[in-house]
Amino acid sequence: MTTKNEEGLLSGIIVLDMSQFLAGPMAALRLGDLGARVIKIERPDGGDLCRRLYLSDTEIGGDSTLFHAINRGKESFAVNMKDESDLQELRTLIAKADVVIQNFRPGVIERLGLDYASVAAINPRIVYGSITGYGPDNEWRHFPGQDLLAQARSGAMWLNGEADDGPVPFGLAVADMLAGNLLVQAILAGLVRRGVTGRGVHVETSLLEAMVDFQFEVLTTHLNDGGRLPKKSAVRNAHAYLAAPYGVYRCADGWLALAMMPLAKLAPLLNLPALADYTPDDAFQRRDEIKSLIASRLKQKAIREWLDIMEPADIWAAEVLDWPKLLQTSAFRQLDMLQTVTRGDDVSVQTTASPIRVNGVRAKNGLAAPAIGSQSDKIRAEFIEGR
């Protein structure tokens, strides 16, 4: 069951998305999924640089699929930040908005006169969200706030892969997405606080802080374990701190993930009685030896054969699916997480829908990412000329 988002939890909230690329626009996207009206503030000559950030050679309506994915459902208001009359129109919008999101490099927003102090002077009730690469005032603040670079500096890239691998980056812009989600949490808390006190607030995070927080579980272990570094498994590593059999294994026709379980429980199912002889300490200390034994056995049968043995025994196992296989499953189709969005120039894009359900309903608004300035006249008439 789906519905439009006019009655969403944030219905009536106006968000000005002054950010570019991924992290900030992702936060604005999620607020829009929850019912807010999101107005994207863009340069008239080219707009958000993400419009030309191609993940592949696929272009839809002159924009990248990445831009479409992360800016669906928004309106676009074109503003030349070097033109004082345009800036004055933006200030008029700010006076009537609830949330501002920006991810300019430290120092840039101040030069534009759109930093929190300046915006709060216009609208004391504003909830102002900022994302930087590494924080606003440390010695890394002027480095490019780019996802891969943040992964590299965070330690997470070093943690990935097997013992003999070099650093392995995530296959996703994980720093951007995590930072965007953290900012959403902070903005929602800021809106609650404003509802109680009537006052706005400045909330901020960075790609680096998001990546450090992402590792809080394992980093806490490191900090309280005499500073020892974890030893990654050389065989099918999946988590440096978890014992065998935890990992992903090749079968005759694909890959199977095995999570935590007693080796003694797994031994008869794999017809490997030697597994039962390993102690819990062995499961970590002799991890590679054990995992090599399991790997040699699992490759002898197909995934479905193993799952037919493991699932009735409540073994935590799952086939590793690629996108085509995932999309073909009934379970995925039952989630109803895909939608087709359109805009006035006949652009049509199939993309994901909000991951959040409210009272059992997933909101879908059906609007594709906007063309540059496509709602400028409408917004100007509604918010500026009628002031």
Residue with tokens 């965070």: 154
Catalytic residue check, 86: no
Q: For residue 187, how far is the Cα from the chain centroid?
A: 16
Exposed e or buried b for every residue in 163-196, given b needs 16+ CB within 10 A? eeeeeeebeebbbbbbbbbbbbebbbebbeebee
Name the active-site residue from 176, 253, 314, 322: 176
270 and 298 in contact (C-beta within 8 Å)?
Answer: yes
Concatenate the DSSP letters of all residues of 96-121 into one string.
H-SEEEE-PPTTHHHHTT-SHHHHHH
Exposed e or buried b for every residue in 280-296, given b needs 16+ CB within 10 A? eebbbeebbebbebbbe
Q: For residue 266, how far is the Cα from the chain centroid?
A: 35
Structure tokens at 90: 């933006």
Distances (CA, A) of 181 to 144, 214, 305, 359: 20, 11, 39, 21
Task: Report, as residue numbers or ranges, the catalytic residues.
Answer: 176
